[in-house]
Structure formats: C-alpha cells, structure tokens
Chain A
Amino acid sequence: MPQSKIDIDISEQNGYKVVRPTGDLDVYTVGSLRDAIGAMIEGEASKVVVDLDGVPFMDSSGLGALMGGVRRLREAGGDLAIACTKEQHLKLFTITGFGEGVSIAPTVEEAAAGFKN
C-alpha cells in the first residue's frame, strides 16, 4: 500500500541546514523532500545535510531527489551531504555509484565535514 506521507524536519547547526525526513522516501513522498531542498536553494541555504536515519525505505525516486539536490545545490555554490547508517541505503549508494561523488558519513557532523565548494 503506497504511503503518501512523510514528515520533514529542518534545523540549522554550524552554518548548515539539517534535513531529517521521517518515513518512506519513494515516488509517493519524494515531492516533499524535493520541495524542501528547492526552498533552501531559493533561500540561499547553500549547505545541507540530509539525515536518512528516519527513512526505513528509499527507492530510485528518493535517490533521484537526493542526487538532484546535490547537483542543484552545487550549481548554486553549495553542497548536499548525507548522514546515513542504514546498510540498505548505503548499498544503494554504492551500487549506483553515487557514494563516490557525494559526502556520505554515519553522522551529520562527519557528513558536513565532507562538503565540497
């Protein structure tokens, strides 16, 4: 049964925004994350860490939203890093090769340490 709800918490620390989605990140919910990241680009919050600890499932749509966010933020002079400890998501980053181009670390602070730009 498709879930259509995801909660997105946004906070700020050490000069970057931390986005914490809670819920499945799939084709039905990904619009919320895309909108949240889009709003940050417009609001000139150029550095963002997305914490995936509250995301039990992520499909290619969710991954696409994250990677789209990476590219758009980098074009705006910022970056997007990912805090993630879930093996399933890490495997997805590894298989698709996104793990090589993006800062992915177990904690928000470690992920933020890998910001480019």
Chain B
Amino acid sequence: MRLSLRWKIVGGYGLMLVLIALLGWVTYSLFASVREVQRTVFNQALPRLVAVDEIVRSYTAQSAAVRGYLIGSEPLLLDQYEQEVKVSGEWEDRAARLFGSGDDRELLDRLIESGSEFHQLVDRRVLPVAQRGNRSQAFRVLAQDGTPLVSQIGDVGQSLRLAQDQDVAQTEEDLSVQSNRAVLILVLVTIGALIVGAVVAIALPRRLVANLDKLVFAARAIGRGDFEQKIEIHSGDEVEELANRFEEMQSGLRRLQQLAAHDRELEIAAEIQRNLLQLPVPASSDFVVVPVQRQANLVGGDWYDLELSGSSLTVVIGDASGKGIGAALMSTVALSSLRAERGLGAAPERIIEQANKVLLDATAPESFTTMIYMTIELPKAEARWLNMGHLPPYRLTRNEEGEPTGHFVDGPRNRVLGWFDDPGYAETASDLRSGDRIILFTDGFVEAKSSEGELFGEERLEASMLRYAPLSLSEMGEGLVADVERFSAGKLDDDLTMLIIEYRPGVTHGPERAGEGP
C-alpha cells in the first residue's frame, strides 16, 4: 500500500491518539468498577445489612418485651413493645425500598410476613388473654407460636445477611477480574504506544533521512557531471516521488549532454560549411562583389561561390531544400561538384549537368537544390546565367534622369537540380552598364513571415533595394537584412543569403569606395 509521508505522520500520531484514548477509557472503566463496588457495598449491601439486623433485633426485642410483660405485668414493657413495633415497621419500609426485587426481596417479604404474623399473634391471642388475667395461658401461646416466628425471622435475617455477604464477595471478585483485565489492557496499550511512538519518533525519520541522503548523494553526483547515479527509493511516499522526478531530471540532463555533443558536431559541420563558403572574395578594377549571409540555424542549405578567372567572374548562388544538416550536406555536395567540374575547365552547362547528376544519385526524392550560375564577361559588359529553379536576380540601374530603378530579370527558366533527369539548360543574358548592380538572393528574403503570417515578398524587397541603392554594397546588404529581420520580428525561419555585384569597369575599388551607388 502506498502512503504519502503526510499520511504516515498523521497516521502514526493518529494511532498514538487512539492508544491514549484507549488508555483513558480503560482507566475510566477501572474507576467505574471501583465506584460500582463502592455503590454496592456502601449504598446497597451495608444499608440492607443494617436494616435486616435492625428488623431482627427489633422482633427479638419485641418478643423479649412481651415475654417480660407476661412475667412481670410491667406496663412499661408493653410500651416498649409498642415502640419496637413502630421501629420494626419503619425498618421494614426502608428495607422494602432497599431490596427492590429478586430472591432477596422474596426473603425480605417472608421476614416481613413472619413479623406481621408475630404482631397478629401478640395483638390478638397473647395480649388479650393476658389482659383477661390468664398470663400462663398467654405465655404458652407465645412460647408455642410466637417463639418459632421470631426464630424464623432470625433465620430469614441470617439468610439475607449471607446473601448480602455473597453480593459483596461477588462484587469484589468482579472488581478483581476487571482490575486484572484493565491492568493487562494498560500494559498492552502502553507497549503498543511505545512501539508506535518508537516508529514515529525513530524509524520514520531515520528512513526519511536515509532516503534524503540518497538524494543528496545523487545531487552531488549531478554537480560533478555524473548523471548515471541510480536512486533506489521505494518508500511509496513523496520522497519516492521526488526520487522519480530526480531520475527524470537526470534523464533530461543526459539528453542535454547528448544535445551539447550534437551541438559540438554541428559546430564542426558549420565550420566546414563556413570554410567552404568563405573563400577570398575576388576583387578587380571592374567590379565589386559583397556576399551577405544570415543563417537561421548553425548550418543551412544556402550557399554561394565566387571565382574570378581572367576577365570572367563566376557568381553562383544556391539553396538546398529543407533545413539543417541535410540541407547543409546537399549544398556541400552541390558546391563540391561544381568546383570540381569548373576546375576541369568545363562549360557552365556541363558543370550544372554534372552537379544535377551527382545530386540525383546522392539525395532523397524529397530533396532538391535551386541555383543561379552566372558568368560575367567583364570586357563585354555582359552577364549570362542559367537559372535552375531559383528566384530571378534583380538588376539595379539608373534611368535617364539618374534615379535608381530596376527589375527582376526573369528570363527562360530551367528546373531545380537533383530531381529531374533533364533540368534544362536555357541561358539568360543581360547587358551591364557601369554602376549597375546585380543582386542574387535566396528565398529567405521573400518568404520571411511577419507575426501575422504575411510574407515579405518581392515587392517589399524591391522597394528596399531601391531605397538602399545610394548606399555602399555592404550598407545595402545590411539594410536589406535588417528590413527582413524587422519584418519577421527577429524570428527568421530560413537563411538569408545575398550576393550584390556592382559593375564599374576601369575604376579602382577599395573596400571604402565600394558601392557609391549606381
């Protein structure tokens, strides 16, 4: 049976109270028995004895007075007889009240009846004969019929006395039995109270302290980083409940430990990804390029690649579907394949075809990668790219009035990599004017959600790009990221990656001069 600690304590003390109450009841019973004896002896037996003795004595006295009167004719003795008749009558009334009913009452009634017969004998047959002068005749009648009645009264009185003695003896015996029983109960209850008291006062706290010691030991082990300590407590109370919660906490801490280890592995993965992405940004007198990246998680699916080879600048941006390690691995596969093929001097179409093949083989049917592979031929002032299911790039330029203007360059579309056998290899081209900016970005910018669930969208992105057009490339990138973060109240679910390229042929660019605006 499971008992809470509270109920154990309440139960222990409750039992003690019950035992104390039992002690009280036994003591009360003992006193009640003594009082019963007292009542039997002093209120019943002794008055009865006195009454019976008085009645017997009175009749003996009456007999003696009548006898004396018959012998000596003393009127005083007749008065004495009359006086004793009253006395016996009073004692008989009193005795009738004391005896109530039962065998003793029958004896008393016999005694009173004998007394009554004696009075009738004296009053009707003895005294009238004596008063007529025939004293010897009266004496004979008294001796013949009166003496046996007085003797009978004495015998009945003796029986009543014996009965009272027996009542007293019985009561004393009852008292003795009750006393012995009460003493036995007192001893047992006292022993019981001592045992319960010992359990409540010693065993319970000792077990409680022992269990708490186990918890303290486990807590110290946790402090040392040891979450494996077993806590064996089966007390069935709140302490066991606490131990169970403790074990849950240990389990939670073990999970946290595993997560921390997992985080360390993620850190390593993130560092690998950073090292792959953060190549030296190419620089030339004909362009400035600034990568901007905010990752929602430690690792993600957004990636980019930049390479200047002769007068040709390659700009690649990609976004692997999903998030986390899976997306990061896919982006690493895509980037590695891309660089390997480019290192062999392959044309963009071939590079993309090979990346698609590698991704098809390496990734699950749910995974795909979008990408823009752009080549800017600097002397020709021309950008050409293959859009593999990615959001179109934005071209920021100036109108004839010199004001910033731009548009999403939405040329022929191809399909994502890693899903289709033939994703398509249609190319888009755009001329570049000095000061033009080409902005490539991932879907994190347009799919950023406000707390109301509204998307940032292309219109807001375009408005922000135009607003930041007069600023440097870095300031523009930071401004765009800040706008998106503000819109989503700082709760970005997806990575933000952007590449901003400014075409400025023949201008020597330093970081401080980069981005004077188109």
Contacts and interface: CB of A to CB of B under 8 A. Distances in A.
Interface of A: 1-2, 24, 26-27, 34, 56-57, 59-61, 63-65, 67-68, 71-72, 88, 94-98, 100-101
Contact of B455 (A63, A88, A95, A96): A88
Interface in B320-358: 321-324
Nearest to B419: A67
Contact of B415 (A27, A59, A97): A97
A68 B366 contact: yes
Nearest to B366: A68
Interface string B380-398: 0000000001110000000
Contact of A95 (B321, B367, B390, B493): B390
B493 A98 contact: no
B285 to A, nearest CB: 35
B493 A64 contact: no
A67 B455 CA distance: 23
Contacts of A34: 366
A64 B321 contact: yes
B389 A96 contact: yes
Contacts of A68: 364-367
Given A63-B321, A67-B419, A95-B389, A57 B455 contact: yes
B379 interface: no
Contacts of A98: 389, 415-416, 419
A34 B389 CA distance: 22
A57 B453 contact: yes
B424 interface: yes
Interface string B491-515: 1011000000000000000000000
A71 B368 CA distance: 12
Nearest to B323: A27
Contacts of B364: 68
8 contacts: A60-B301, A60-B322, A63-B321, A67-B368, A96-B368, A96-B389, A97-B423, A98-B419
Contacts of B319: 60
Given A2-B493, A60-B321, A61-B323, A100 B443 contact: no
B323 A96 contact: no
A59 B424 CA distance: 23
- Enumerate the 9 nearest inter-chain pairs by beta-carbon distance, A residue then B residue, closest first: A97-B415, A68-B366, A60-B321, A96-B389, A71-B365, A68-B365, A64-B366, A64-B321, A27-B323
Contacts of A59: 443, 447, 493-494
A25 B451 CA distance: 17
Contacts of A27: 322-324, 493
A27 B301 CA distance: 12
B420 interface: yes
Contact of A96 (B370, B449, B453, B494): B370
Nearest to B443: A60
